[in-house]
Chain A
Amino acid sequence: MPLLDRYTAPADRYDELLASNGKPRAHWEGVIQHLDWLGPRALREARESMQRQIASNGVTYNVYADPRGADRPWDLDLLPQVLPAEEWHEIAAAIRQRATLLNAVLRDLYGSQKLIADGQLPASIIQGHPGFLRACHGIKAPGGIHLHLYAADIARSPDGHWWVVSDRTQAPSGAGYALENRALLGSQFPELLRKLRVQPLSPFFQTLRDSLAQWAPRDDEAPLIVLLTPGALNETYFEHAYLARHMGIPLVEGQDLTVRNGAVFLKTLAGLRRVHAIMRRTDDSWCDPMELRSESALGVPGLVDVARKGGVLIANALGSGLIESGALLGYLPAVCEHLLGEELAMPSVATWWCGEEEALEEVAERIDSLVIKNAYGFAAEGPVFGGDLDEAAREALISRIKEQPRNFVGQEMVHLSRSPIWGPLTGSLEARLTGLRVYAAATPNGYIVMPGGLSRVAGVKDTRVITIQRGGGSKDTWVLAGAQEELALPTQPADNYPTIITEHDHGTLASRTGESMFWLARHVERADCALRLLRCGLRQQLFAEDTEWPALYAAGLRCGVIPRRLATDKPLSPQATLLNALMDENFAGGPINNLRNVIRLARSLRDRLAPDSWRMYARLERLTASWMRGAHTLSDALEFLDQSLLALITLAGYSMEHMTRDASWRFQSIGRRVERMQFLATALEVLLVPDKGSPALASLIDLSDAVLTYRRRYQRAPERGPVAELLLTDRDNPRAFLYQLESLADHVGQLPGQLPADVSTPLRLLVENLLARKPEDWVSSSAETAALRGLLQASWLEGNALANALQNRYFSHLDVRTTVS
């Protein structure tokens, strides 16, 4: 076995691969043989292929302060962690017991608190715990289940026994990464997985989802389950999206949900839909600004009260973070005997809670051999290794502990086991310290344990802390089925499950997504109009044809493309005015802020944008950044304008040619039309039929991208009549005013659900008015031009009214009370 040539067993640690005689353990043999048979070159290729897959699937882990950027690619080793059936059965039984126990403890502490009355736990263990949510005390969890998904970090000591290092009880992360790891490794070694009879993971998630549906409050609808995420900036956001997709449930943020009359609703474009269960990844105290942390913008106001009334299932129940506390560990063996009448199957790593005076003394005495942690599990208070400290630092730590002893625990250090990783640089096996996170889910028949888990390995050869936040890697975990054992059934495609809400069904597109799409399209169009106006002006300067400058300047001011200047400001030349407008970062609503809004919104929608269109947004971002850094010369500006307009046109074309005509597309189209209609209304008013001064027809034609068409169709210098025909009432010109109005009316008519009738009526009446006269008549007298100005202004206002109506009806759901009751 050449792969093992340079890998040796350590004397002082348990090695996952090698037994103490230096031979591979039996359950590893199949893996090693297979890898040896493949040979180093195939392994290298397998790893590269896996890396490519990680990049193209966008598997990331966001690290807040990572030089590699916000989205760090996921780090997965080519070798799995392998566990044999017999050993796994013991682990699984212990985890089942522990989940059952911790659930019972939670139920007690948020209810009768008999454990405290009976002297099993000191009251101070919860009284001083910031994670004890007093607002949630007394809330009955459906089915008595607080803990729907539980995770334990376990580690193996030199004698081969497993220990629990910590419990994850409020919103355990990593199960989705474990699933993705399996998909990645499975695609490299499909035959090996079959041959070794590796237990599949996905049935676990299906069971979890079905169990949630079981306990969710019932009404006459199929239960709707959602996954609540704090948002795209969260470190494990990838996993939230991945799990939601895998489980076939909508991924939502707090603002997508609303509470009405004792129930939770999802704001969808088709109206409010009752939510029966929330699987949350938002931490306890951030879930409801009403009764928990009032500064939280991530939560759903009123959620606690709905839970109190039993109107929604929240998994895990609010307040479950309470028992992640290291302070609890020391009491668990006795509590287990007391509640379950059983011995605790898997011990916790020895932990002393300094809230007890004797423990405090013990910790102070043995501090050199202990890790000191925050008793309430707050990561901000990172673990401190007593042995690392010099005399002064040790004294300082001890006095900090004595100042608030209840905030600290001292924990023995685990001599972690080692596992081999395949080192891409050396092409051979290297040893890394490892730990395993395992998962249990509540079902009506008790807890089940996911056969596998997220194995984590230290990032460098010797380190004591394994966290992915600090650069460790991960491994897929293979639990081998025993000879007599059947594999869990592979999961059925999620499609036939009643809770599935696919987003093809426009009725369930989350309102926030529709809203962001709407605003993205508006900002794209607004940027297009603004850049066009600036380009038109700068070209005129370049060719010294600026007789229309006063009119163009007026149009720029009215459209918010050129900033208003105070009378006291130094007068600027036209060219300086235009360049200034293009680079002023403080100009609210100005072109640069506009482009930045485009980029910001595109980022927030990144999951929903096709890779090609995302690339175009990224290009726009680069162009903007490099223009802002540059020297701001006239030629730079024209180059920037040409390139950005090209990118914007490409995006518009993408939307026409590549997007499905679903509700999201409909909202984007409306957003685009509203902006263009408003821009045209103002441009026509100022440039075609100005109140005073003369029209600026050449500019108007240029702004409307109609230079060629006009020349071809009329073959003469710009005149008001033909321009009016081409830009005002030409039904077939997508840059004509009439086209915008008709297209808007058409889109509005096809929106899902019922809009109040008066939303599209004004649009149709405006169209009627516009068509009541021939185009040339509109510009035939001052009375007519005044009438046209009135019509254009009314249309502009109608654009705002329409946007507000959509906002209320589809995004904020402020006018839908009648549909709720």
Chain B
Amino acid sequence: MRYKIEHVTRYTYSSPVGLSFQIAHLQPRDDDEQICLASSLQIDPAPERVDAGKDYFGNDVARFELSSPHKALAIIATSEVDVSRDPETPTESEPWESVRQYFAETLWGQDADSAAAEFLFPSPLVPHSPALREYARASFTPERPIVEAALDLMTRIHEEFEFDPTATHVTTSVETVLQIRRGVCQDFAHLMIGCLRALGLPARYVSGYLLTEPPPGQPRLIGADASHAWVALYVPEFGWLALDPTNDIVPGDKHIMLAWGRDFGDVSPLRGVILGGGEHDVDVGVTVTPLDDEMATDSETGAEADSEITAEATLVAGSTPDKA
């Protein structure tokens, strides 16, 4: 399945920004089931410099710097991606405890398994939480095959948590999400990752897009699609198993991957530090357009995606002691 994706972020500031540094994770990465055919980044006003590169996890990043005063900043990422993701899951798998035991032992050398061990550990947005482990226990009963248990956990999160873009914000902790049982895809992904890691299983955060279908008979709206996030669990001998707890589905070819990391903090689409700017507003619009016709008639419903994932901006106040 081929898609064209346009991801537009527009900042407006109440006073001029004198200096701005940004890191973008906006270019879809490749893996066995997805290939990025073309990708471009348009920035207005034009930055002093743009550097493209890879981050620690192998994601494509662009870093740029603007040092002439501006009151608005637009970042338009356009890409074309071919996705052939197979939503099939292994029918048989080993009991989850043996996977935990495998990763509890010290792994030596560098192979896929010990690389996956990277994702066993707490990360800044997903700290270690016994409470999450307790929540996960209901799915991870003794001797249950790991894939079955993980699918059950995904289903429970989907059923027991309500999608509510107003309930949380970028820094809401997973423990809070567990308490209030509401949130958006980023929260559910963090929650599920926290559950799996608390059990001693490696899990990572995947950011990307989800194709949403317009109601029958209506045209696809520009900007109505959204950033999305899901989870991948490492299953030895199978590899990374993607799971979308927001929608209770195993991602197939409607899920377009951007990047992966330990949590949202590693892969936020835009992260920046600005000097000046006063109050700022941000407006994000994503449009996913299938380039094959067959998709247009395929209408699966109920997919929820999150338009609340926006760029994370840190405002650095000027260094003036007091201008009162």
Interface residues of A (CB under 8 A from B): 113, 116-117, 119, 122-124, 127-128, 134-135, 137-138, 255, 258-262, 289-291, 294-295, 297, 301-302, 305, 355-357, 403-404, 406, 512, 515-516, 519, 523, 588-589, 593, 597, 600-601, 604, 807, 811-812, 814, 817, 820
Q: How far is the CA of A290 from the CA of B130 in the complex (A)?
A: 31
A811 touches B105 (CB 8 A): no
A814 touches B108 (CB 8 A): no
Contacts of A301 in B (CB 8 A): 19, 21, 273, 275, 316
A127 touches B121 (CB 8 A): yes
Tally A-B pairs: CB < 8 A.
120
Select one of B18, B108, B118, B314 contacting A289, CB under 8 A.
B314
B106 touches A357 (CB 8 A): yes
Contacts of A113 in B (CB 8 A): 110
Contacts of A597 in B (CB 8 A): 321-322, 324
Q: How far is the CA of A1 from the CA of B105 in the complex (A)?
A: 61
A294 touches B271 (CB 8 A): yes
Q: How far is the CA of A593 from the CA of B63 in the complex (A)?
A: 42
A512 touches B319 (CB 8 A): yes
Q: What's the minimum C-beta distance from A10 to chain B, rounded to whole angstroms?
A: 41
The residues in B between 79 and 128 inclusive whose CB is less than 8 angstroms from any CB of A are: 104-110, 114-115, 117-118, 120-122, 128
Select one of A117, A290, A356, A820 contacting B273, CB under 8 A.
A290
Q: What's the minimum C-beta distance from B316 to chain A, rounded to whole angstroms?
A: 7
Q: How large is the interface on B (under 10, 10 to 19, 20 to 34, 35 or more residues)?
A: 35 or more
A289 touches B273 (CB 8 A): yes
Query: Which of A258, A305, A814, A820 has the largest count of B CB atoms less than 10 A from its CB?
Result: A814
Q: How far is the CA of A601 from the CA of B18 in the complex (A)?
A: 26
Residue of B nearest to A133 (CB): B56
Known: A137-B56, A261-B48, A357-B105. Contact between A302 and B273, CB under 8 A? yes
Q: How far is the CA of A119 from the CA of B111 in the complex (A)?
A: 11
B110 touches A515 (CB 8 A): no
Q: How far is the CA of A176 from the CA of B184 in the complex (A)?
A: 51
Q: Mark B4-21, 1 if CB is under 8 A from A, else 0.
A: 000000000000001101
What are 13 A-B pairs at a CB distance below 8 A? A116-B110, A124-B120, A289-B314, A294-B273, A294-B314, A297-B316, A301-B275, A302-B21, A305-B21, A519-B320, A597-B322, A601-B321, A807-B320
Q: How far is the CA of A357 from the CA of B105 in the complex (A)?
A: 7
Q: How far is the CA of A295 from the CA of B121 in the complex (A)?
A: 22
Q: How far is the CA of A252 from the CA of B164 in the complex (A)?
A: 46
A811 touches B320 (CB 8 A): yes
Contacts of A260 in B (CB 8 A): 19, 65, 67
B130 touches A403 (CB 8 A): yes
Does B312 count as interface, using CB distance less than 8 angstroms? yes
Does B23 count as interface, using CB distance less than 8 angstroms? yes
Q: Mark B168-202, 1 if CB is under 8 A from A, else 0.
A: 00000000000000000000000000000000000
B321 touches A814 (CB 8 A): no
Q: What's the minimum C-beta distance from B170 to chain A, rounded to whole angstroms?
A: 11
Q: How far is the CA of A305 from the CA of B21 in the complex (A)?
A: 10
Does B276 count as interface, using CB distance less than 8 angstroms? yes
Contacts of A512 in B (CB 8 A): 319
A261 touches B314 (CB 8 A): no
B23 touches A516 (CB 8 A): no
Contacts of A138 in B (CB 8 A): 56
Select one of B110, B128, B271 contacting A117, CB under 8 A.
B110
Q: What's the minimum C-beta distance from B277 to chain A, rounded to whole angstroms?
A: 12
Q: How far is the CA of A600 from the CA of B322 in the complex (A)?
A: 11
The residues in B between 50 and 81 inclusive whose CB is less than 8 angstroms from any CB of A are: 51, 55-57, 63, 65, 67-69
Q: A113-B110, A128-B120, A357-B104 are in contact. List 17 more A-B contacts (CB 8 A).
A: A116-B114, A122-B107, A123-B118, A128-B121, A135-B55, A259-B21, A260-B65, A261-B48, A261-B49, A261-B65, A290-B271, A294-B314, A297-B316, A302-B273, A357-B106, A515-B319, A519-B321
Does B142 count as interface, using CB distance less than 8 angstroms? no
Select one of B55, B108, B319 contacting A811, CB under 8 A.
B319
Select one of A124, A404, A516, A600 contacting B117, CB under 8 A.
A124
Select one of A259, A295, A812 contacting B18, CB under 8 A.
A812
Q: How far is the CA of A519 from the CA of B318 in the complex (A)?
A: 14
B130 touches A812 (CB 8 A): no
A302 touches B322 (CB 8 A): no
Q: Mark B257-284, 1 if CB is under 8 A from A, else 0.
A: 0000000011000011101100000000
Interface residues of B (CB under 8 A from A): 18-19, 21, 23, 48-49, 51, 55-57, 63, 65, 67-69, 104-110, 114-115, 117-118, 120-122, 128, 130, 265-266, 271-273, 275-276, 312, 314, 316, 318-322, 324
Q: What's the minimum C-beta distance from A551 to chain B, rounded to whole angstroms?
A: 25
Q: What's the minimum C-beta distance from B141 to chain A, rounded to whole angstroms?
A: 21
A135 touches B56 (CB 8 A): yes
Contacts of B104 in A (CB 8 A): 357
Q: What's the minimum C-beta distance from A478 to chain B, rounded to whole angstroms?
A: 44
- Which 6 interchain pairs have the tightest Cβ spacing? A134-B56, A814-B18, A128-B121, A301-B273, A255-B319, A589-B324
Q: How far is the CA of A124 from the CA of B202 in the complex (A)?
A: 12
Residue of A nearest to B262 (CB): A134
Q: How far is the CA of A127 from the CA of B69 in the complex (A)?
A: 40
Residue of B nearest to A118 (CB): B109
B63 touches A305 (CB 8 A): yes
A817 touches B68 (CB 8 A): yes
Q: What's the minimum C-beta distance from B171 to chain A, rounded to whole angstroms?
A: 10
Q: What's the minimum C-beta distance from A309 to chain B, rounded to whole angstroms?
A: 8
Known: A261-B67, A588-B324. Contact between A123 and B114, CB under 8 A? yes
Contacts of B48 in A (CB 8 A): 261
Q: How far is the CA of A289 from the CA of B313 in the complex (A)?
A: 11
Contacts of B51 in A (CB 8 A): 305
A127 touches B109 (CB 8 A): no
Residue of A nearest to B53 (CB): A308
Residue of A nearest to B22 (CB): A290
Known: A356-B106, A403-B130. Contact between A812 and B273, CB under 8 A? no
Q: How far is the CA of A113 from the CA of B114 in the complex (A)?
A: 13
Residue of A nearest to B314 (CB): A294
Q: How far is the CA of A262 from the CA of B65 in the complex (A)?
A: 9
B321 touches A124 (CB 8 A): no
Known: A123-B117, A355-B106. Contact between A294 and B312, CB under 8 A? yes
Known: A259-B21, A817-B67. Contact between A812 and B105, CB under 8 A? no
Q: What's the minimum C-beta distance from B160 to chain A, rounded to whole angstroms?
A: 25
Select one of A123, A357, A519 contacting B322, CB under 8 A.
A519
A404 touches B319 (CB 8 A): no
B109 touches A119 (CB 8 A): yes
Residue of B nearest to A136 (CB): B56
B273 touches A123 (CB 8 A): no
Select one of A289, A406, A588 contacting B316, CB under 8 A.
A289
Q: What's the minimum C-beta distance from B216 to chain A, rounded to whole angstroms?
A: 43
Query: Which of B109, B275, B312, B324 has the largest count of A CB atoms less than 10 A from its CB?
Result: B324
Q: How far is the CA of A261 from the CA of B47 in the complex (A)?
A: 10
Contacts of B109 in A (CB 8 A): 116-117, 119
B107 touches A123 (CB 8 A): yes
Contacts of A134 in B (CB 8 A): 55-57, 266
Q: How far is the CA of A356 from the CA of B107 in the complex (A)?
A: 10
Q: What's the minimum C-beta distance from B222 to chain A, rounded to whole angstroms?
A: 31
Query: Which of A294, A305, A357 has the largest count of B CB atoms less than 10 A from its CB?
Result: A294
Q: What's the minimum C-beta distance from B300 to chain A, rounded to whole angstroms?
A: 36
Q: How far is the CA of A597 from the CA of B63 in the complex (A)?
A: 39
Contacts of B57 in A (CB 8 A): 134
B49 touches A262 (CB 8 A): yes
Contacts of A259 in B (CB 8 A): 21, 65
Select one of B23, B115, B122 contacting A290, CB under 8 A.
B23
Select one of B106, B115, B314, B321 contacting A516, CB under 8 A.
B321
Contacts of A811 in B (CB 8 A): 319-320
B49 touches A124 (CB 8 A): no
Q: What's the minimum C-beta distance from B76 to chain A, rounded to whole angstroms?
A: 22
Residue of B nearest to A590 (CB): B324
Query: Which of B106, B115, B276, B318 has the largest count of A CB atoms less than 10 A from its CB?
Result: B106
Contacts of A294 in B (CB 8 A): 265, 271, 273, 312, 314
